[in-house]
Amino acid sequence: MITVEQHLDRILAAVAPLPPRALPLAQALGCVLAQDVAATVAVPPFDNSAMDGYAVQAADVTSANETAPVRLQVVGDLPAGSAERPPVAPGTAVRIMTGAPMPPGADAVVPVEATDQVAGPGEGARLPQVVQIRQPAGLGAHVRRAAGDVAPGTVVLRAGTRLRARDLSTAASTGHGTLLVHPPVRVGVLSTGSELVAPGEPLAHGQIPDSNETLVAGMVRESGAVPVVLGAVVDDVAALRARLTENLGRVDAIVTTGGVSAGAYDVVKEVLAPLGEVSFERVAMQPGKPQGFGVLARPDGGPGVPMFCLPGNPVSVFVSFQVFVHPALQRMRALVADAGPRPTTDAVAATGWRCPAGRRQFMPVAVEEVRDGELRVRPATAGGSGSHLVASLARADALAVVDADVEAVAEGDVVRVMMVP
């Protein structure tokens, strides 16, 4: 048997960030940026109005007040997006909307509320010939300056950033329609088992619902990657190879479940051999002891496709994914800091439980916060870490991680707890 660390190290050494590609902003959410991004346009790109109102010369309106308004001749109208440049000379004003470029000659904006005009559509839409200004405006009042936020050439996003919605808006506003990113990782999801039936379908004797496909596809998404469901195949290695060959060109990684217990994997290994080397190990953990991993060759000669062959038992699938597949997917996404074991925190066992000899136990636990961050945990199922207890997985908030040399956890013991989504 090998240790969890030995298996994870081997996986992480074999996977690499996907090569960067230019993607439209709409497809880049959650991707890691592959280069620094500098503004190609200023923000704002031009001096513009912060208010709906009138662009004026500030010197014209210094004496304006409610009882003695200043009358200005209206010589133009500037909605946002207008390319007109009507000049504002002394004694004149141009009606202007928020975001419209300041007209030449104007150096301040008087909001419509400080005039005799009404705001908004309807009557407000009619352009007056004369506007009465009822308040003074300081030089530059309500004018947003060109490059007031950033100037062209300023670096606005750094390589390595995991792109959030606001990062994408920064890119859009500074002139970019595409970004060079590590693209989303597409993960083929494939269940094996002749006993499997689609969820919700009636079951004949001996059949069970395929819960692993839904589980793995969901965990792939929770890990920030894109599931590509390849369907279930019967326990027939030729069928497995055919399904893989058909789909190798459209995925970046593959997760299979089932068919890796004693004996079976020799056949799987042989059948996969033409596609690449997949090796099978017994890892000192419970659940999740039988694990297959390898890299398959892509037909187009592109980067190899890591293949994770997880054991079929659903709790084993859950644990194996969190312990091995999640870190690998983070590395493929180029999320360097997350490409390792999920972090653990300490908690107190609210009740005791038994542990398997010689294997690190990953016990699904329910977590309760007793006071200010102090956590207490108890097994999520009456059956402990039994790898078939899939229906009770919904009660688990975390995995208690118990070292291989511990035979039992006693009530009150401090245990390490790996938080999972």
Ligand X SMILES: Nc1nc2c(c(=O)[nH]1)N[C@H]1C(S)=C(S)[C@@H](COP(=O)(O)OP(=O)(O)OC[C@H]3O[C@@H](n4cnc5c(N)ncnc54)[C@H](O)[C@@H]3O)O[C@H]1N2
**Which residues sit at the interface with ligand MOO, rule CB under 6 A?**
286-289, 311, 313, 316, 387
Nearer to ligand X, 136 or 209 (CB): 209
Nearer to ligand MOO, 54 or 362 (CB): 362
- d(Cα 215, Cα 314) in Å, to the nearest integer? 8
The entry of ligand X, ligand MOO, none near residue 196 (CB within 5 to 8 angstroms by kind) is ligand X
Q: Please answer whether residues 244 and 178 qualify as being in contact, where contact means their C-beta atoms are separated by less than 8 angstroms.
A: no
Asked if residue 180 binds ligand X (CB under 6 A), the reply is no
Asked if residue 194 binds ligand X (CB under 6 A), the reply is no
- Binding string to ligand X for residues 269 to 298, with x set by CB under 6 A, is what? ------------------x-xx--------
The entry of ligand X, ligand MOO, none near residue 1 (CB within 5 to 8 angstroms by kind) is none
The vertex-395 CA angle with 394 and 396, nearest 5°, equals 95
Asked if residue 257 binds ligand X (CB under 6 A), the reply is yes
Q: Following DSSP, what letter does each residue of 68-123 receive, concatenated?
A: SPEEEEEEEEE-TT--------TTEEEEE-TTPBPPTT--EEEEGGGBSSPPSSGG
Of 48, 92, 117, 212, the one binding ligand X (CB under 6 A) is 212
Asked if residue 69 binds ligand X (CB under 6 A), the reply is no
Distances (CA, A) of 198 to 79, 193, 316: 57, 12, 20
Shortest separation between residue 201's beta carbon and ligand MOO, angstroms: 25
Asked if residue 385 binds ligand X (CB under 6 A), the reply is no
Q: Which amino acid is at 124?
A: G
SS3 content of the chain, % helix, strand, coil (to 5): 25, 35, 45
The entry of ligand MOO, ligand X, none near residue 322 (CB within 5 to 8 angstroms by kind) is none
Helical (H) or strand (E) element with 170: helix 165-173
Nearer to ligand MOO, 101 or 288 (CB): 288
Torsion angle, CA of 362/418/30/16, rounded to 10 degrees? -60
Nearer to ligand MOO, 76 or 288 (CB): 288
Shortest separation between residue 350's beta carbon and ligand X, angstroms: 27
